[in-house]
Amino acid sequence: MSKLSIKAYVEALGQEARAASRHVARASTAAKNQALLLAAAALRRDQAELVAVNQSDLAKARAAGQDAAFLDRLTLSPASIASMATGLEQIASLQDPVGEVTGLVRRPSGIEVGRMRVPLGVIAIIYEARPNVTADAAGLCLKSGNACILRGGSEALGSNQVIARAMHEGLRGAGLPESVIQVLDTADRAAVGELITLKGLVDVIVPRGGKSLIERISNDARIPVIKHLDGVCHTYIDASADVAMAVRVADNAKTQRYGTCNTMETLLVHEAIAPAVLPLLCALYREKGVELRGDAAVQRLIGGIQPATEADWYAEYLAPILAIRVVPSLDAALDHIAHYGSQHTDAIITNDWNHANRFLREVDSSSVMVNTSTRFADGFEYGLGAEIGISTDKLHARGPVGLEGLTNQKFVVLGNGQIRGG
Nearest residue (CB) to a copy of itself, 4 versus 394: 394
Nearest residue (CB) to a copy of itself, 319 versus 360: 360
Q: What does the DSSP 8-state code read for residue 105?
A: E
Nearest residue (CB) to a copy of itself, 129 versus 347: 347
Nearest residue (CB) to a copy of itself, 86 versus 357: 357
Q: What gap in Å lies between CA 265 and CA 348, rounded to an integer?
A: 14
Rounded to a whole number of angstroms, the minimum distance from the CB of residue 82 to a copy of itself is 22
Rounded to a whole number of angstroms, the minimum distance from the CB of residue 60 to a copy of itself is 36
Nearest residue (CB) to a copy of itself, 26 versus 45: 26
- Which H or E run includes 302? none
CB 298 within 8 A of CB 326: yes
Q: Alpha-carbon Rg of the chain, whole angstroms?
A: 24
Nearest residue (CB) to a copy of itself, 269 versus 297: 269
Q: What gap in Å lies between CA 30 and CA 18, rounded to an integer?
A: 22
CB 167 within 8 A of CB 138: yes
Residues lying near a copy of itself in the complex (CB under 8 A): 22, 25-26, 99, 105, 107, 109, 111, 113, 116, 118, 120-121, 203-204, 224, 226, 242, 245, 248-249, 251-252, 256, 338, 347, 358, 360-362, 364-373, 375-377, 381-383, 393-396, 398-400, 408-422
Rounded to a whole number of angstroms, the minimum distance from the CB of residue 273 to a copy of itself is 15
Rounded to a whole number of angstroms, the minimum distance from the CB of residue 206 to a copy of itself is 11
Rounded to a whole number of angstroms, the minimum distance from the CB of residue 155 to a copy of itself is 31
User: Any long-range contacts for 44-53 (C-beta under 8 Å, 24+ apart)?
Assistant: 44/81, 44/82, 44/85, 46/162, 46/165, 46/166, 47/78, 47/81, 47/82, 49/162, 50/76, 50/81, 50/159, 50/162, 50/163, 51/76, 51/77, 51/78, 51/81, 53/158, 53/159, 53/161, 53/162
For residue 330, give every residue at least 6 positions away whose Cβ sits within 8 Å of its Cβ, in sequence order, or none: 236, 238, 270, 355, 358, 359
Rounded to a whole number of angstroms, the minimum distance from the CB of residue 19 to a copy of itself is 9
Residue 251 has φ and ψ, to the nearest 5°, of -65, -50
Nearest residue (CB) to a copy of itself, 142 versus 164: 142
- Give CA separation, 112 vs 177, 281, 307, 408, 422, in Å: 35, 58, 63, 20, 16
Rounded to a whole number of angstroms, the minimum distance from the CB of residue 412 to a copy of itself is 5
Rounded to a whole number of angstroms, the minimum distance from the CB of residue 318 to a copy of itself is 17
- Which H or E run includes 219? helix 211-220
Nearest residue (CB) to a copy of itself, 139 versus 145: 145
